Structure 1
Amino acid sequence: MSRFMLIAVLGMFCLSQVRAGETRTWEGKWNNRKYNTTGPLKCVATSDDKGNWKATFTGLFKGDPFKYEATFQSKSTGIQHNLSGKATIRGHEYQWIGLMKGATLSGKYKSNIGYYGEFVLKEKE
């Protein structure tokens, strides 16, 4: 039992330590609930020493490729990083919230023109 507790505590400590300049890559799918569409999504993000990330998201929307830059902030709870961010995509403002837990990056988004949905991405090694 104590060995399990030690592993769990070490795992939580390692998760809460995001190194400045760290670059991580996740891939998966997004879902647009307004139009019931989905597609592939990739995120490549680099962190700084204050929990800020600069990310590039690439994917497909109804067969059309897209690419956009986003910034987001992370706050560690010890077992996960809570995220929030904003982006401008094709002139529309988006806000999103999410979390980074283990190898998963997930979030929910909404735009000022009614698009909303979620994404779940898994880290690439």
Structure 2
Amino acid sequence: MARFILLVCFALQPFCLLEAGETRTWEGKWNNRKYNTTGPLKCVATSDEKGIWKATFTGLFKGDPFKYQATFRSQAKGQQLNLTGDATIRGHKYQWTGFMKGATLSGKYRSNIGYYGEFVLKQKK
């Protein structure tokens, strides 16, 4: 039975959920709807056995590099992980929701100073 499960996960790897302690990297773009800006974004995240994630996001905002840590929670729903989290970036509070499905990490965010937008990232191997 264990071989069957492993075989299915290898065959459907983009659809298998992350295991505790596994680290993955996604890259793509974010959009800030308040200022109609966009830029590159990278996320490196590791989960624990309770579905709590620690992530580092790096990217560019109007040519300035940024890096911040975020903690978020996951809840499995079929082949998708629904996500909720928060972060403090340059002193501002951000809330976001999203999901992981296959090789995609997607999210929507809103800050306490009116920034809002979304990001779509693809897994890098």
Q: Give the TM-score normalised by the residue count of structure 2.
A: 0.87
Paired residue for 1:62?
62
Match of 2:29 in 1: 29
SS of residue in 1 equivalent to 2:16: helix
Answer yes or no: is 1:15 the counterpart of 2:12.
no
Q: Distance in 2 between matches of 1:118 and 1:53?
A: 19
Is the contact made by 1:110 and 1:117 (CA closer than 8 Å) also made in structure 2? yes
Is 1:123 the counterpart of 2:123? The answer is yes
Counterpart-to-counterpart distance in 1, 2:86 and 2:16: 24
Query: 1:77 — aligned with what?
Result: 77
User: What is the CA RMSD across the aligned residues, in angstroms?
Assistant: 1.6
Counterpart in the other structure of 1:94: 94
Quote how far apart the aligned CAs of 1:20 are: 1.3
How many pairs align? 115
**Contact 1:15–1:78 under 8 Å retained in 2:** no
> How many Å separate the matches in 2 of 1:63 and 1:11?
38
Matched, 1:43 2:40: no
Aligned-partner Cα distance in 1 for 2:32–2:16: 30
Give 1:11 deviation, angstroms.
Answer: 4.6
C-alpha distance in 1 between matches for 2:44 and 2:59 = 12
The one-letter code of the counterpart of 1:105 is L
Gaps of 5+ in 2: 1-7
Per-residue deviation, 1:78 = 1.4
Partner of residue 109, structure 1: 109
One-letter amino acid of the structure 2 residue matched with residue 78 of structure 1: G
Runs of 4+ in 1 over 4 A off after TM superposition: none
Q: Mark the runs of 5 or more structure 1 residues left unpaired by the alignment.
A: 1-6
TM-score, normalised with respect to structure 1: 0.87
